[in-house]
């Protein structure tokens, strides 16, 4: 067992995880298909994309709700966003009832409309409501509750004070873990994530499961974050959309083995096929094809002819197009001057 493995905290409030490498909550992406493929490559915990408390309280579950779960995808966290603590508590109770292993609260979303409605990242500027929300949610469920925070609303000292005020109160209320995205809300997705913010949280709350987020595009990045900040795990976001094999690579390095070769075209085709089938089961053929188009575009960089693959997925509009791309660009007869097939 390596030192890295020995120091690993395999527990989030009683939910066991097998490694520090987890899939981030990703709006529009971390659906059941994406979660299952990442799990098959080694993700130890996956997260459903953020959902509004109102949506859960008013509409519930079902195939159209996007709340589909798969028995192979455990443990799995859900993530809720709202503005009213009581409504958040009600939604959390319903989510735990659907079988989610962890309920996560979103205090990070930087989308303008969300901020305008006093949700997500806005709550970092309103400690009173944020703390009341954590209180309602922790009281409403028996499963572990975690919080996703950016390192502040912006870089002002006031924002910093509020960050610590919210996190300290949330810890006192019994949250089992926190995910820190090393950017401010104001930064949105621009500029580098400041990993020191993650390390500072871990130093202040040594007993808490602290996971880091931001700029994790390779297995090397993930291990570097764990080593440099002392965090318990990482949540891989854009890096996993572009390359789900990042989980396999992380596990290899973590076990002291060499990094595996990049995925072959056949491996990529198999993964696309698995994910497409799951998407069809969830959304039906047409919507599943649209959903997979996004993934195809983002994963073009794994192909030896990325520009051609990118353009092919951009113009994809039907299941026939999907099949043609798979046959011509990923099939047995596909041959390229460079790259492994
Ligand atoms: C397309 C997209 C959707 C996201 N959706 C969510 C979400 O639903 N909930 C959440 O907490 N964070 C969400 N995030 C933020 C990521 O989980 C992550 O914290 C952020 O992308 C930083 O990591 P990265 O720089 O490695 O991508 C999203 C990010 C992206 C790019």
Residues 293, 294, 299: CA angle, nearest 5 degrees: 95
Probe ligand 1: pick from 23, 26, 31, max atoms within 8 Å of CB? 26
The tens digit of pLDDT for each residue in 44-58 reads 999 999 999 999 998
- Whether the predicted pLDDT of 341 surpasses 70: no
Q: Whose CA is nearest to atom 16 of ligand 1?
A: 237
Domain termination residue (choose one: 204, 234, 254): 254
Q: State whether 139 and 68 are in the same domain.
A: yes
Q: Counting every residue, how long is the chain?
A: 341
Q: What is the mean pLDDT of residues 28-51?
A: 97
Question: pTM of the predicted model, to two decimals?
Answer: 0.96
Q: pLDDT band for 3, please (50, 70, 90 cuts).
A: low
Q: Which of 60-74, 124-138, 223-237 has the lowest mean pLDDT?
A: 60-74
**Can you tell me whether residue 307 is helix, strand or coil?**
helix
Structural domain including 314 reads: 265-330
Terminal Cα distance for the chain, rounded: 34
Rounded average pLDDT over 191-195: 97
The two three-digit tokens of residue 155, written as one number: 């870089």
335, pLDDT greater than 80: no
> What is the rounded distance in angstroms from the CA atom of residue 199 to the CA atom of residue 121?
21
**Closest ligand 1 atom to 104 CA:** 11
145, 103 Cβ separation under 8 angstroms? yes
Nearest protein Cα to ligand 1, atom 11 = 25
Tell whether the torsion through CA atoms of 169, 175, 178 and 184 is positive or negative. negative
How far is Cα 116 from Cα 118, in angstroms, rounded to an integer?
5
Domain co-membership, 317 together with 222: no
DSSP for 173-208?
TT--EEEEESS-TTTTT-S---THHHHHHHHH-TTS
Q: Which atom of ligand 1 is nearest to the CA of 49?
A: 8
- How many A from CA of 328 to the centre of ligand 1? 32
Helix (H) or strand (E) holding 160: helix 157-172
Using CB distances shorter than 6 Å, the residues near ligand 1 are 24-29, 49-50, 79, 106, 108, 148, 181, 193, 213-216, 237-239
Average pLDDT over residues 78-85: 98
Residues 321, 218 share a domain = no
Question: Which segment of 64-68, 150-154, 198-202 scores lowest on mean pLDDT?
Answer: 64-68
Specify whether 308 is located in the same domain as 190: no
> How large is the average pLDDT for residues 264-281?
96
Residue 154, pLDDT > 50, answer yes
Q: What pLDDT sits at residue 2?
A: 64
Q: Which pLDDT score, from 0 to 100, does residue 340 have?
A: 45
Q: pLDDT averaged over the chain?
A: 94
Q: Assess whether 244 and 279 both reside in one domain.
A: no
Which band of pLDDT confidence, cut at 50, 70 and 90, is reported for residue 319? very high
Q: Tell me, in angstroms, the distance from the centre of ligand 1 to residue 110's CA.
A: 10
Separation of CA 115 and ligand 1 centre (Å): 16
Q: Is there a single domain that holds both residue 84 and residue 233?
A: yes
Q: Above 70 in pLDDT, residue 163?
A: yes
**6 pLDDT band (50/70/90 cuts)?**
low
Q: Is residue 338 part of a domain?
A: no
Are residues 124 and 149 located together in one domain of the fold?
yes
Question: Predicted confidence band at 278 (pLDDT cuts at 50, 70, 90)?
Answer: very high
Q: Please tell me whether residues 187 and 308 are part of one structural domain.
A: no
pLDDT at 337 over 80: no
Q: How far is the CA of 26 from the centre of ligand 1 (A)?
A: 5
161 & 288 share domain: no
Catalytic residue numbers, as ranges: 109
Q: Dihedral sign, CA of 332, 334, 335, 336? A: negative
């Amino acid at each position: 067992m390596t030192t890295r493995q020995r120091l690993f905290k395999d527990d989030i409030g009683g939910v066991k995880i097998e490694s520090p490498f987890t899939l981030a909550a990703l709006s529009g992406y971390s659906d059941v298909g994406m979660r299952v493929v990442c799990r098959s490559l080694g993700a130890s915990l996956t997260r459903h994309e953020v959902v509004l408390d109102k949506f859960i309280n008013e509409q519930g579950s079902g195939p159209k709700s996007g709340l589909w779960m798969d028995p192979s995808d455990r443990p799995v966290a859900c993530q809720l966003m709202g503005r009213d603590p009581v409504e958040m508590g009600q939604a959390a109770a319903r989510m735990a009832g659907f079988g989610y292993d962890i309920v996560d609260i979103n205090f990070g979303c930087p989308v303008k409309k969300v901020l305008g409605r006093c949700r997500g990242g806005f709550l970092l500027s309103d400690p009173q409501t944020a703390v009341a929300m954590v209180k309602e949610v922790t009281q409403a469920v028996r499963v572990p509750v975690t919080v996703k925070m950016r390192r502040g609303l912006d870089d002002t000292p006031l924002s910093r004070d509020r960050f610590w005020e919210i996190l300290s109160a949330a810890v006192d209320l019994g949250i089992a873990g926190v995910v820190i995205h090393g950017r401010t809300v104001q930064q949105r997705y621009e500029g580098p994530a400041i990993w020191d913010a993650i390390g500072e949280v871990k130093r202040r709350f040594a007993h808490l499961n602290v996971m880091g987020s931001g700029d994790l595009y390779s297995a090397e990045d993930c291990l570097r974050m764990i080593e440099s900040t002392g965090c318990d795990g990482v949540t891989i976001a854009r890096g996993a959309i572009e390359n789900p094999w990042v989980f396999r690579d992380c596990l290899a390095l973590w076990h002291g083995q060499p990094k595996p070769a990049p995925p072959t075209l056949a491996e990529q085709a198999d993964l696309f096929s698995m994910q497409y089938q799951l998407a069809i089961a969830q959304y039906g053929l047409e919507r599943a094809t649209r959903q997979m188009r996004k993934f195809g575009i983002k994963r073009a960089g794994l192909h030896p002819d990325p520009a051609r693959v990118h353009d092919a997925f951009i113009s994809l509009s039907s299941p026939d197009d999907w099949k043609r791309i798979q046959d011509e660009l990923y099939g047995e007869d596909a041959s390229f001057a460079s790259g492994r097939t």
